[in-house]
Structure 1
Amino acid sequence: MKILLEELPHQLEALQALDEAFYGLDERTTDPDKDYVYANPIIKGRGNENTNIDIKMETGTGKTYVGVRAMYDLHQKYGLFKFIVVVPSPAIKEGWKNFIEADYAKQHFSQFYENTQINLNVINAGDFNSKKGLLPAHLVEFIEGDRLNSSTIQVLLINAGMLNSASMKKDYAQTLLSGWTSPLEGLKATRPIVMIDEPHRFPRDKANYKSITAVEPQMIIRFGATFPDVKVGKGRQASFVKDYYRKQPQFNLNAVSSFNNGLVKGIDVYYPNVTETESKERYVVESVTNQQLVLKHNSTLYTYGKGDDIGFDGDIYYEGAKRLSNGLELEKGMSFLPATMTNSYQELIIRDAIEKHFEAEIPNFMRENEYQPKVKTLSLFFIDSIKSYRDEKGWLKELFEKHLRRKLEALIREFRLKKLPREQEYLSFLQATLADLTENVHAGYFGEDRGSGDEAIQAEVDDILKNKEKLLSFKDGKGNWQTRRFLFSKWTLREGWDNPNVFMIAKLRTSGSENSKIQEVGRGLRLPVDENGHRLLQDELPSRLRFLIGYDEKDFANKLVAEVNDDAVVKLNESKLTPAMIQLIIEKTNNLDEETLLGQLDAASIIKRNNDFKENGFEKLIELYPVLTEATQVKTGKITTGGPKNKQRIKLNKENWNKMRHLWEQFSNRYMLEFDRINDEALQLLIDEMIRDKDNFTLQYPEFTRNELYYNDENGEMRVREQKANYDSRKPITGMKYGEFLLKLTQRTKLKPAQLHKSLLSALKETYGGNKDYLNELTLSNLVRDFKDRFEKRYAQSYRYHPLEFQASTSVFDVMKNDFKEDILATIIGINEDSDIVDDGRQLYEIPPLRYDSMKPERELLKYGYGSNILSFGKLPKKAIQVPKYMGGTTTPDFVYIVEREDKSHVYLLVETKAEGSGKRLSDEQIVAIQERFFGALKQYGVEYQEATAAQDVYDKLRKVAKLNDK
């Protein structure tokens, strides 16, 4: 199994933002060392704080990918080739190392950066040999790498503690070719670009950050989900704000966007209940030293010395060194319930965790049909006591194996009765798991494992840390099942370690401290990959993380939601319409300016003249502009307490659905797209048209910005007016070399170089007088966009649908039972709801509430008083029909109507809606064209189709199809 990296839109946006924030090379520098072969070219503004760049990306969205690809990009565009990656811990260092060295990563990047490679140099503790006066070989290799090898990027991977060590500052007997004997001086001379991972671990007033600036980087790029805080003001007026280089990140993919746009898994939080009496028995650590522990219960203090039994069920005593005998590390202010610290309570969590694992594993293995690749399911356990797992007779290990064995035996009995090939395959997987239970099914990684010398433990650690593909694979090269999928750790597997197929995390240790909740669930947020290494987006596999914790953290979900919402760029103010809220509405709404918006809100009695909200004004604003909550708050259902049982489900009105049974049996058929072959002559004609279009070729001019100072009469202060972009029209930017431009055009259009060369060279000579300044990034973008537009328009008509000889279930129809489902998740119908409606018996679901996505036209259509000839109607859930798209994936219309005609025959009207004023993208046009073609071939079944941007479009179509003369 090989992981297949893909270009995800948000990662490309991060790279584009980084490139736009980079000031470029200093072509006018007078530095006498500008051509020093061991150093990077000199960049504009080198060493200035405003040159530095912050890239903020939520955990699980691909920060390492963006960081590594940024190196390739900066090398290709600007010749930068020396990068120092600074990380806060060995685990994070291992994550970077594994990714950079992975074959799948090298293969992926080679598509875009041909013949370019990274020479990775990793510095570890103990690499310096002071006795012999020798420098680490990797350090020497990095410093002495030169520009002459133009296809190699030199990367030094190091943790900040090593940068700050005395070994980096002393002189050695060994002299580098570049003339330096001190590692630090040698690193300075390379004029490095420094990348920092997990920037919140490097506050700028701390020693670790100062050791980074000691290498005198030309520019620092920070990648992180969280950034350090900086204190602003003094005394009671003081507050903390995020410390960004340029006051804000140059790219900001925050937690709200990540959850709402399906870039990470949803989360279901579970905890076992305790009795009401037990829930009140809370103890707080009043103080703790190596020799003494003081606990506070209500107002009473209890003092324990080293070795004293603290009296909780489970034979727990104070071990000393700020830890209990069960391995719990203590700190002042930590609170816990005695009931949650017992073995019986942890057994309850283990049993629940195993159940939750298989709730995810079985559907991930089965998928919707046996033609879809399987998905390996992993579970992660965080524990207090390492001995309870590592000891030969460790109670936790024995407890886990006992409950897992019981579950496996029950599932094996169940699947022996099943007959489908995928079910029989899963039976084999279960049997192999049971046979392998004590050897390979589960594994642990703890800090003390490093250097233990135990070969078996080291093999476990290597599998967890380094062999990601093995953990994600179902079988090895010999066809044997890979059964390992339960991992145990003690917070060691946190930042820096990732495996996308973690679907369950069980926290058997007490937290107590106010750690970042997102960091705690972070190991399970990444979207999964299937057995072929393909990353599965939420519309391909709606995946969720099951997070099991103790009762003492029963408010975890609320705190997590609050933390996610607090990460939003714009904060909602429920008493006043703020400038930030106004700007957000304008940005997300077409054809609207501030004056028009305020006029509308004033007329609707939502705001006062000073923009304060009138009574219920905030609620009215949210209803009118739901984009405010969509952009600033995590959607309902993305993070839940209690998991599926708390997910709202909508019951189908099966009487109405059965009126369309024969139609849905037809929709359950799978279809194959058959494309016409486009010959080389036709393709060449398309290329010629693209090249001949003079609008595609343009000169690119340098851009500069200007700050305008003005005097503020209100407070007498000087202010900086908003920056304005200006263009220097005197001299265009020098274009690319012809070969470079042709190569980029080839890569981005996937066309043959010979085909492009024939037209491009002729046009350059004959139309543009051989002026290569036309070969720039703007021209390149214009040509790529034009080619795709022309290709889509012609290619979109060059395919047909052919039914296959098998069926598959949809979101509403189960082909195995040959029946409609009883209920479905409410969120796949719509994200909003309206309870103000009376059920007249014609809706597709039992109501209230109505579920919908847009106010207009969707809610209008659902609440309209239709005539008696409309027998049934309603909004279709996602994937109810699954029409294949020629660009990949499937599409389903938004509405269906059953219309009774004058002769009592029935017509089925399928409607694709588009919210009013939202504009139409090319992809929307393609979807409509696809649906028109697909449903146009089903007219013999009474199917009609309509695109609607307004409710009136639907009403007009309904009147038309109801008439016999329109049949």
Structure 2
Amino acid sequence: MKLKFKTQAYQTAAVQAVVDCFKGQPPATAEAISYRIDPGKAKKGVEDLFAEGGFKNADLKLSDIALLENITQVQHQQNLPQSSELVKTKVSRVNLDVEMETGTGKTYCYIKTIFELNKQYGWSKFIIVVPSIAIREGVAKSLEITAEHFLETYHKKARFFIYNSKQLHHLESFSSDAGINVMVINVQAFAARGADNRRIYDVLDDFQSRRPIDVISANRPILILDEPQKMEGAATLKSLEEFKALMVLRYSATHKTTHNKIHRLDALDAYNQKLVKKIAVRGISVKGLAGTNAYLYLQSIEISSKAPVARVEFEQKLKSGEIKRIVRKLGKGDNLFSDGFSNELDQYRGFVVADINANTDTLSFTNGVELFVGEATGDVNEASLRRIQIREAIKAHFDKEQALFQQGIKVLTLFFIDEVVKYRDYSAADEKGDYARIFEEEYSQYLNEVLDLDETPYIKYLKGIAAEKTHSGYFSIDKKTKRDVDPSIAKTGENKGLSDDVDAYDLILRKKEQLLKFEEPVRFIFSHSALREGWDNPNVFVICFLKHPDYNNEVTRRQEVGRGLRLSVNQLGDRVDHPAIVHDINVLTVVASESFKEFVTALQKDISDSLSARPKVANEAYFTGKVLKTPTGDVEVTPQLAKQIYKYLLKNDYSDDTDRITGTYHEAKKGGTLAPLPPELQAHAEQVYQLIDSVFSDSQMFEIGDDRRPKKNPLNSNFDKQEFKALWNRINRKAAYSVDFDSAELVTKAVAELDKSLRVTPLQYTIQTGEQAAQVTYDGLKDGEAFVLKATETEKNVHSIHSAVKYDLIGKIAEGTQLTRRTTADILKGINVAVFAQFRTNPESFIAETVRLINEQKATMIIEHLAYDPVEDKFDLDIFTAGQTKQDFSKAGDKLKRHIYDYVITDSGIERKFVETLDTCTEVVVYAKLPRGFLIPTPVGDYNPDWAISFKEGTVKHVYFVAETKGSMSTMQLTKIEETKIECARKFFNEINRKYAPENVKYDVVKSFDKLMDLVK
């Protein structure tokens, strides 16, 4: 597999922001970039005649004033705060900050920026500086896998290498090559105290008595700092001065020190634009109980056809006297002490299930003990907690894998551990640590449950993977013993917590694409907790922290969660990023070792803190001068327009007394109930709201869901709107139907249709002939390989192989058509003898086809003779709530604005597109996917229409509309039964309109939202 890359607008914007900062810089000339490389002592004896020619970056010709003007213009176009000065440092005259959220492809962006700067201005020498070995290896991998992609666009490749003080020959090529040259270097290689790391500043005999840093700096390289906040120590900054950089480009999601910021794509932007995965959390909460050590863990509550059941882990006494923990399903009234559950362990006396509440996810016992899903109580030690976490991670993995397998997306789960011995123990005979053993036990137990499902390609896939083959660990390797060991971790300084051992990351990076293939059995990855940046894989869907939370200024939940934020790819290497489905599929589950509330609160604080640079005050001064990007060009917000926006916010309580955006605004925006903008702003409404959204408030934070709980789907405030009540009152009618048609007419039409169309397929069988191969070696042959197939022919059986079976032909057809035996017999007697003779060749096919053709004729006649008689009876409101709790809305997409429920499960792609447009149409007040209980009786079965829609008064002709969505309006593609039900519905609503609400309700079939609007207008 090869990962595929494509040009994306948000990444192009980040690249263009850098390029535009140098408008007016003349393209490099041969004279401007040529220089003579210092040959060193080994060559100077020949009077430099043979000194090599080098190619450096051309000097930056723009003045400080011109540069600042370019920078402020770039900032202005993006509505960023405009710099008042060019921020200079001792490292470089130009320092540009690019803020990009983890998982949005910042490495891709700065590699593309390299190519674009070379294309526009001729600069060709770049050094990517990274804070750790992990990031260094990740950057090198990105340069490798994007090479062909950029070759297609720029028709050239970048030569790149990782700096190594023992392989200095690369520096000669870096200096002498005229093409794009990229050096990747980690700070330890030039800012650490070790002898090898100081070689870059030493005069080296094996480098012609030159200093490597002098050869590097002579190229006036452009420095690209990846995660610069980790490279701000005094020693590192002092060392960076030695590179004599032409400029410094800084890329990070969390800048600590700001310079001239020219681009921002923060966590909120990335989520709202659906550029990263959604986050869901499975927290494990340990709950202490006084006076008892009864161990209990409530894993989940499941809806059954009778009553909810609780999946609980508890202890059980075996016949041997040994105590072990088991998982069982409990129902109301079950007694853990007796009833064969714990086998009368004393600590479970009094634990009788009193209630299982699927709405609140709680399990209650008669002794007053209550547990929420995800809570553990009693004797909960660390080993218990880790086992629970591993079990939950496996369950989350399977849940996602079952849903995504058919879409060609491989699911990976990543476990963070703090000691290698917990996974790989070389003192054990099988070298498995505790976590490896626990994983295989829990995996095998859960796998057995999954394998009970119907045989599908997914189940076959699972059967082909052994438990011990589906997990693997990636750790540092001891160079002497070749065994996995805990990595060497920096204890202090700006690289605190980071490993300096390349072996910890080598294998996992080389297998990046291989891990994405279904053929690769590894799906669960164990790695040391130091693996925070540098490696990620787009298909990490579950992350589990098997370690104590130790979050401080250097390590945050957000950094670790970031390992799984990248959008997934399928087996073709294509990124799954279509806006309509991206967050249905791309959901990252975090299995934490703390409660859901604790983890989410802290994670949201991490994210909120990272947004501190965002403006927080929505006053006139902020809006004035901002740019609204419209399809017809940029529009600048004048002081008058700024005042209109400000007044709009105040008037509708969308901002408070301190000019902060309120939760009222964000709730109204989500619910589609925002007050209309003033007339002067309505032409650019979308852009105005985007500008308001750029002002940060805590209520703007995106929701992090509880992964254990599927989305609830309650009726919302739209259900109580007067417009929906008016619509419901018009369609909430029942009616009885009558059909009065002549049986003789049906017999005549059915006979004619059967004579014309009844074709029964004779039974067929295949005969294959073969012979033994002339020369056969039986060693290693599979069954049948010793014979060669010579011929294949198909024979028709003109005499039914079921001829011994007696059929009640009239009875079967009468049953299928709901006609009397007499009418059925009249039809069969009337058809042509040759047509009837087909019964003998295939009786089953004859009966099925005859039933189908008669029903089609019956359906056609029904419409002509059908009449509805409305009755006073109406539907109860409980049809809107019945069955909702049994549905899983976790993959139902984003919350809807105008629907009477928060979510809707669509039956097809046609319906999904219909909902997307319907929910954003300003002419729609409210709509409903009609519940299954709303049925119109018809002679060919009850009919459930799709949608009921209420439009704004005055905007359309038909304010109330009932719609059926079909992919094709062609009667050739609708079955006769579908066609009949639709025609019956037309008659039903016509009669309802005639008797109760003249012409107020329109019913029709539509294949798109545009067709709907044509009909209602």
Shorter-chain TM-score range: 0.5 to 0.7
Write out per-residue CA displacement over residues 870-919 of structure 1, whole angstroms, 9 at most, x where no aligned residue.
7755999xxx9799xxxxxxxxxxxx9x9968993999xxxxxxxxxxxx
> Helix, strand or coil: the match of 2:607?
helix
Distance 1:554 1:3 in 2: 37
Partners of 1:546 and 1:190 in 2: how far apart?
46
1:469 — aligned with what?
A: 513
CA distance in 2 between partners of 1:492 and 1:614 (Å): 43
State the Cα distance separating 1:472 from its structure 2 match. Answer: 0.6
What is the CA–CA distance in structure 2 between the aligned matches of 1:52 and 1:571, rounded to whole Å? 20
Q: Kindly indicate whether the alpha-carbon contact (under 8 Å) linking 1:382 and 1:490 is maintained by their aligned counterparts in 2.
A: yes
Alignment correspondent of 2:538: 500
1:348 Cα deviation (Å)? 0.7
Task: For 2:108 and 2:534, locate their aligned partners in 1 and report how far apart those are by CA, in whole Å.
Answer: 13
Partner in structure 1 of residue 13 of structure 2: 13
Q: SS in structure 2 opposite 1:252?
A: strand
**What TM-score results when the alignment is normalised by the length of structure 2?**
0.53
Residue number among 166, 179, 184 corresponding to 1:157 in the alignment: 184
Q: Where in structure 2 are the equivalents of 1:25-174 lying within 5 Å? A: 25=25, 35-36=35-36, 37-44=54-61, 49=92, 51-102=94-145, 105-114=146-155, 116-124=156-164, 127=165, 136-137=166-167, 139-146=168-175, 149-150=177-178, 152-164=179-191, 165-174=197-206
Per-residue displacement from partner, 1:67-89 (whole Å, max 9, x unpaired)?
22222222233222221111111
Of 242, 246, 250 in structure 2, the residue corresponding to residue 222 of structure 1 is: 250
Q: CA deviation at 1:851?
A: 12
Aligned partner of 1:527 in structure 2 is 567
Deviation by residue 1:136-163 (Cα, 9 ceiling, x = unmatched) = 33x333344456x54x322211111212
- Deviation per CA, 1:739-773, whole angstroms, max 9, x where unpaired? xxxxxxxxxxxxxxxxxxxxxxxxxxxxxxxxxxx
Q: CA deviation at 1:5?
A: 1.4
Q: Using a 3 Å threshold, how does the CA distance of structure 1 residues 15 and 409 change in structure 2: closer, same or farther?
A: same
CA offsets 1:571-622 (integer angstroms, 9 cap, x no match): 5758x746336777966998975424534764886289x9947999873696
Amino acid of the structure 2 residue aligned with 1:501: N
Please give the root-mean-square deviation of Cα atoms over the aligned residues, in Å.
5.1
* CA spacing shift, 1:450–1:639, aligned 2, 3 Å: farther
> Is the contact between residue 130 and residue 227 of structure 2 (CA under 8 Å) also seen in structure 1?
yes
Quick check: 1:556 aligned with 2:556?
A: no
Give the match's secondary structure for 1:263: coil
1:778-793 correspondence runs (5 A):
none
Aligned counterpart, 1:245? 259
CA distance, structure 1, for counterparts of residue 957 and residue 23 of structure 2: 67
**What letter corresponds to residue 923 of structure 2 in structure 1?**
P
CA distance 1:600–1:100, shift in 2 (3 Å): closer
- For 1:336-373, what per-residue CA distance to the aligned partner results, in whole angstroms no more than 9, with x for missing partners? x9987610111111111100011111111023xxxxxx
Contact 1:377 1:485 in 2 (8 A): yes
Distance 1:271 1:383, change over 3 A: same
CA distance in 2: counterparts of 1:827 and 1:410, whole angstroms: 26
Given that 1:265 and 1:543 are in contact with CA atoms closer than 8 Å, whether structure 2 keeps it comes out as: yes
Q: Which amino acid letter does the alignment assign opposite residue 558 of structure 2?
A: I
Instruction: Check 1:870–1:852 CA distance in 2 against 1; reply closer, same or farther (3 A cut).
Output: closer
Change in 2 beyond 3 A, CA 1:658/1:226: farther
Matched, 1:483 2:547: no
Secondary structure of the corresponding residue to residue 468 of structure 1: coil
How many matched pairs? Answer: 622
Name the counterpart of 1:332.
none
> How far off its partner does 1:24 sit?
6.0
SS of the aligned residue for 2:537 comes to coil
Name the amino acid aligned to 1:472.
Answer: L
Contact (CA 8 Å) 1:527, 1:543: kept in 2 or not?
yes
1:388 and 2:422 aligned: yes
Instruction: For residues 160-179 of structure 1, give each alpha carbon's deviation from its aligned partner in whole angstroms, at most 9, with x where no partner exists.
Output: 12123421111112455xxx
Return 5+ residue gaps in structure 2 as ranges: 37-53, 64-87, 192-196, 294-376, 426-430, 487-501, 669-673, 676-687, 720-727, 735-883, 903-910, 928-948, 970-981, 994-1002
8 Å CA contact 2:282, 2:596 repeated in 1: no
Aligned-partner Cα distance in 2 for 1:451–1:519: 33
> Is the contact made by 1:3 and 1:533 (CA closer than 8 Å) also made in structure 2?
yes
Are 1:403 and 2:489 counterparts? no
Q: Are 1:268 and 2:280 matched, yes or no?
A: yes
Are residue 606 (structure 1) and residue 658 (structure 2) matched?
no
CA distance in 2, matches of 1:454, 1:615: 57
- 1:630-645 correspondence runs (5 A): 632=696, 639-643=703-707, 645=709
* Separation in 2, partners of 1:657, 1:881: 27
Gaps in structure 1 of 5+ consecutive residues:
128-135, 229-242, 282-336, 368-373, 476-481, 660-818, 838-844, 884-895, 908-939, 961-967
Instruction: Encode CA deviations 1:306-328: one digit per residue, 9 max, x unaligned.
Output: xxxxxxxxxxxxxxxxxxxxxxx
Shift of 1:468: 0.8
Q: Secondary structure at the match of 2:463?
A: helix
Taking the aligned partners of 1:871 and 1:488, their CA distance within structure 2 comes to 57
Aligned-partner Cα distance in 2 for 1:345–1:338:
12
Relative to 1, partners in 2 of residues 1:658 and 1:338: Cα closer, same or farther, differing over 3 Å? same
Matched-pair contact (CA < 8 Å) for 1:163–1:211? yes
Q: Secondary structure at the match of 1:645?
A: coil
Q: Aligned to 2:461, which of 429, 434, 456? A: 429
CA distance in 2, matches of 1:265, 1:484: 22
Q: Deviations over 1:440-462 (max 9, x none)?
A: 31111234566651499999965
Corresponding residue for residue 857 of structure 1: 923
- Tell me if 1:446 matches 2:458: no
Distance 1:23 1:349, change over 3 A: same
Matching of residues 201-212 of structure 1 within 5 Å: 201-203=230-232, 206-212=234-240
- In the alignment, is residue 345 of structure 1 matched against residue 431 of structure 2? no
* Inter-CA distance 450–461: structure 2 relative to 1 (3 Å threshold): farther
* Partner Cα separation in structure 1 for residue 402 and residue 478 of structure 2: 32
- Counterpart in the other structure of 2:1006: 943
Deviation at 1:212, TM superposition (A): 1.6
What is the distance in 2 between the residues matched to 1:193 and 1:30?
A: 18
Q: 1:287 aligns to what?
A: none
Distance 1:658 1:45 in 2: 77
Tell me the amino acid that sits aligned with residue 463 of structure 2.
Answer: Q
| Alpha-carbon contact 1:648-1:826 (below 8 Å) kept | no
Q: Give SS of 1:44's match.
A: coil
2:415 match: secondary structure: strand
SS of 1:550's equivalent in the other structure is coil
Q: Is the 8 A contact 2:200 2:212 kept in 1?
A: yes
Distance in 2 (CA, whole Å) between partners of 1:32 and 1:459 is: 42
Aligned-partner residue type, residue 83 of structure 1: F
Q: Does 1:904 align with 2:918?
A: no
Q: CA distance change for structure 1 residues 463 and 64 in 2, over 3 Å: closer, same or farther?
A: same
Q: Which amino acid aligns with 1:580?
A: Y
State how far apart, in whole Å, the 2-side matches of 1:54 and 1:510 are.
34
Q: Provide closer, same or farther for how the CA distance between residues 545 and 184 of structure 1 changes in structure 2, counting only shifts above 3 A.
A: same
What TM-score does the superposition give when structure 1 sets the normalisation length? 0.56
Q: Residues 521, 448 of structure 1: CA spacing in aligned structure 2 closer, same or farther, 3 A cutoff? A: same
Give the Å deviation of 1:489: 1.4
